[in-house]
Amino acid sequence: MTGFRENQENLFELIHRVLGDHLPSEPLEAVYLFDLSSPNKSSILERAIKLYQQGRVRKLVLNNEGDLDGSISYQQCAEELIARGVSKSDLLAFKPAPEFRGPTGRYNASSQGEGFVRFIKESGYRSVGCIAPTFHLVRAFVAVVSGLAHNNLQNTVRAYAIPGESQSWDEEIVHFQGAIKGPRKNLLKDELARLASYSARGDQVSGEVVLNYLNQREGGNRADVLR
């Protein structure tokens, strides 16, 4: 399977497994905060702070290019996290990968996923997570798993998907490097289209690969039970 539109069963399973991912009992070593653009920022920061305060994650990771529309800088987010009790030494940063950038030259989910994976490879982390807004989480997680596959880490790093705090589906937001504006619910169609096209051109792995990864991560062997 190469795309996301070919198999409805895989899609149904993938959405459940990603949106309802089950975190391990041990704290994650590092969690990346995806997509801190203004309409989504509070959802991501609240979830990150909650996990940090509960001792479920040790380090919070930002990318130091700021958000996609340039309205929120790395510095602003770092200051907010520190003001809310995150220790400065527990905040880390990386640069999104130069590949996979959109037509505007700004980074996208793939360049964030790839940059995060290169960063964890250098740091030696083995148990990581990514937080993204609920409408964007599937693509964000697929980008991280794709980064693991590109860097041959799919058998050594356990990555988990973490949804941001729930937000109204009717709120008007801007997304895709400012290219699309509308209620959050309307962005879902584009998310699926992008999953399909990025997978088709090889930037991201397929749904089947992600499902195999999840089973392998949990210690199972999906190959034994595949139809």
Partner 1 sequence: MPTFCDDQSVLFQLTHRILCDSLPPRQLEVVYLFDETAESASSVIDQAFSLYKLNGVRRIALNNEGHPAGSISYDKRCEELITGGVVPQDLVAFKPAPEFRDPKTGCYSTNSEADGFVRFIKEQGYTLIGGIRQPLFQIRGFVSLVSALFRHGLQEMVRAYNIPGRRLSWIGKALHSQGNVEEERWQLLERERDNIFKYCEWGHLVTAPEVLQYLKWRDGL
Dmax over CA atoms of the chain, in Å, equals 51
> Identity (one letter) of the amino acid at 32?
Y
Residue with smaller CB distance to partner 1, 9 or 122:
9
The DSSP bridge pattern shows strands 180-183 and 172-175 to be: antiparallel
> Identity (one letter) of the amino acid at 217?
R
- 129-148 mask for partner 1 (x: CB under 8 A)? -----xx-------------
In angstroms, the CA 81 to CA 100 distance is 29
Cβ 174 to partner 1, closest distance in Å?
A: 19
Does position 93 interact with partner 1 (CB under 8 A)? The reply is no
Alpha-carbon torsion 67, 129, 19, 142, what sign? positive
Residue with smaller CB distance to partner 1, 13 or 80:
13
* Candidate list 92, 149, 192, 200; residue touching partner 1; CB under 8 A: 192
Question: 167 with 134: CB under 8 angstroms?
Answer: yes
Helix (H) or strand (E) holding 111: helix 109-123
Residue 135: count of CB within 10 angstroms of its CB? 22
Cβ 220 to partner 1, closest distance in Å?
A: 5
Cβ 22 to partner 1, closest distance in Å?
A: 5
* Candidate list 100, 128, 163, 205; residue touching partner 1; CB under 8 A: 163
Burial of 167 (0-12, 13-18, 19+ CB in 10 A): middle
Closest CA to 141 of 1, 15, 2: 15
Cβ 167 to partner 1, closest distance in Å?
A: 6
Q: Token digits for 20?
A: 């309802």
Residue with smaller CB distance to partner 1, 19 or 82:
19
Cβ 189 to partner 1, closest distance in Å?
A: 5
CA angle, 132 then 138 then 144, to 5°: 75
* Candidate list 53, 75, 104, 168; residue touching partner 1; CB under 8 A: 168
Which positions from 9 through 68 interact with partner 1, judged by CB under 8 A?
9, 11-13, 15-17, 19-23
* Candidate list 82, 166, 179, 182; residue touching partner 1; CB under 8 A: 166
Q: Which residues bind partner 1 (CB under 8 A)?
A: 4-5, 8-9, 11-13, 15-17, 19-23, 134-135, 163, 166-170, 185, 188-189, 191-193, 214-215, 218-220, 225
